[in-house]
């Protein structure tokens, strides 16, 4: 039997009685690991989305972030962020260079507050070894593991030691894994499966097209949401501005693309041009206002109200 699964665009949320006088009084903050953040959404740890400057911008706004892992000096980055009174959130891989990276952090006496094990399919023996290594040597670091797409995989990552799990494979706008390999799961089904299987927070990664998809991911049980294209194209986004025909754009490419790898090997990502959008401040305000509205429609005054919302399938 072939199962039917759902994406964010296949579902909507049923309104409940609003109990607040103003949606502005709705609290969108979320506790995630050792810190509380203004919003439960943050930019993808992709070279074409975040830079050190992007990360500092988000941290100063009270939002979560994760620096990407490509040609990054983790010691310098961690030291710099912590010296500024901010928090350090870095990404690591599963190969030998990661061990060297971790040893350098230890030698410098540095412990990032957050670390993301970032691989295409974290349900693998190399990820298991690295997760256990990190938890042994960085016991006070909040470890996010990903990505996975099934309940069984999520359970394994929790048992290996992850403090949070990133769910979603091949759901991003510049990811072509599903085209190249045939593997993918729609995000509503992925998030609900993973959330039901673990006790640690789940991050819904990929597939955010509209602002309302953030509320849908929270209704599915996600604690945090990661988005790439949503945050691409701004002054504070990574990447250079490109002018074509009098219009300005910024490049946005997948981590598994040739533009990130530097060679056409095992390519599962592509590059697109995103229209230049100016300062990101307006986006952050709008995202918070829209989520405050979602909370008011959910019949509450904080994000926990979204856990009780009915989700319905629609046919497009």
Query: How much is the pLDDT for 242?
Result: 86
Whether 260 shows a pLDDT value over 60: the answer reads no
> Which positions ≥6 away from 63 have C-beta within 8 Å?
37, 38, 39, 41, 42, 284
Q: Single out the catalytic residue among 26, 55, 162, 175.
A: 175
The larger pLDDT score, comparing residue 175 to residue 145, is at 145
- The verdict on residue 54 lying in a domain is yes
Angle at 78 between CA 72 and CA 79, to 5 degrees: 120
Q: What percent of the chain has pLDDT over 90?
A: 82
- Does an H or E element contain 226, and which? strand 224-227
- Among 45-49, 172-176, 194-198, the range scoring the smallest mean pLDDT is 172-176
* pLDDT-based confidence at residue 268 (cuts at 50, 70, 90): low
pLDDT at 257 over 50: no
pTM of the model: 0.93
Span between the terminal Cα atoms of the chain, in Å? 23
Classify residue 132: in a domain, yes or no.
yes
Residue 160 domain boundaries: 8-313
* Banded model confidence at residue 203, pLDDT cuts 50, 70, 90: very high
Q: Is 243 helix (H, G, I), strand (E, B) or coil?
A: strand
> Are the CB atoms for 99 and 129 separated by under 8 Å?
no
Q: Which residues are annotated as a binding site?
A: 202-225
Within a domain: 306: yes
Q: 286, exposed or middle or buried, with CB in 10 Å at 0-12, 13-18, 19+?
A: exposed
Residue 99 in any domain: the answer is yes
| 223 to 65, 208, 214, 250, 291: CA distances (angstroms) | 14, 15, 10, 30, 14
- CATH classification of the domain holding 188: 3.20.20.70
124 is catalytic: no
In a domain, 231, yes or no: yes
Quote the CA–CA distance of 186 and 24 in Å, as a whole number.
Answer: 32
pLDDT given at position 310: 98
Any domain includes 186: yes
**Could you tell me if residue 2 is inside a domain?**
no
Total tally of structural domains belonging to the chain: 1
At 174, is the pLDDT very low, low, confident or very high (cuts 50, 70, 90)?
A: confident
Q: How far apart are CA 153 and CA 160, in angstroms?
A: 11
Phi and psi torsions of 204, nearest 5°: -85, 115
In a domain, 159, yes or no: yes
Specify the residue for token string 């693998």.
Answer: 124
The residue written with tokens 């969108």 in the block is 28
What is the model's pLDDT at position 180? 82
User: What's the rounded Cα separation, in Å, for the pair 233 and 225?
Assistant: 19
Label residue 259 by pLDDT band (50, 70, 90).
very low
Q: How far apart are CA 311 and CA 222, in angstroms?
A: 14
Cite the annotated binding site for NADP(+) by residue number.
202-225
> What band does 98 get if pLDDT is binned at 50, 70 and 90?
very high
């Amino acid at each position: 039997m072939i199962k039917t699964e759902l994406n964010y665009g296949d579902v909507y949320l049923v309104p409940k009685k609003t109990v607040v006088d103003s949606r502005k009084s709705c609290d969108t903050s979320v506790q995630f690991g050792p810190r509380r953040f203004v919003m439960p959404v943050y930019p993808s740890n992709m070279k074409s989305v975040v830079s050190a400057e992007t990360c500092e911008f988000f941290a100063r706004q009270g939002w979560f972030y994760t620096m990407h892992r490509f040609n990054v000096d983790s010691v310098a980055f961690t030291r710099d962020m912590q010296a500024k009174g901010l928090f350090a959130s870095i990404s690591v891989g599963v190969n030998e260079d990661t061990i060297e990276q971790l040893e350098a952090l230890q030698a410098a006496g540095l412990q990032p507050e957050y670390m993301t094990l970032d691989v295409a399919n974290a349900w693998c023996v190399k990820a298991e070894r690295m997760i256990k290594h990190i938890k042994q040597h960085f016991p006070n670091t909040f470890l996010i593991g990903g990505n996975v797409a099934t309940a069984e995989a999520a359970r394994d990552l929790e048992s290996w030691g992850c403090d949070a799990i990133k769910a979603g494979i091949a759901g991003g706008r510049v990811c072509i894994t599903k085209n190249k390999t045939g593997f993918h799961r729609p995000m509503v089904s992925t998030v609900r499966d993973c959330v039901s299987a673990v006790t640690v927070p789940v991050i819904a990664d990929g597939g955010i097209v509209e602002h309302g998809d953030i509320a849908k991911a929270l209704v599915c049980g996600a604690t945090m949401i990661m988005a790439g294209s949503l945050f691409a194209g701004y002054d504070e986004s990574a990447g250079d501005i490109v002018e074509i025909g009098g219009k300005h754009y910024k490049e946005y490419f997948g981590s598994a693309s040739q533009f990130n790898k530097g060679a056409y090997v095992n390519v599962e990502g592509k590059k697109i041009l995103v229209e230049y959008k100016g300062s990101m401040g307006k986006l952050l305000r709008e995202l918070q206002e829209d989520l405050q509205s979602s909370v008011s429609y959910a019949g509450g005054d904080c994000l926990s109200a979204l856990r009780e919302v009915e989700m319905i399938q629609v046919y497009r």
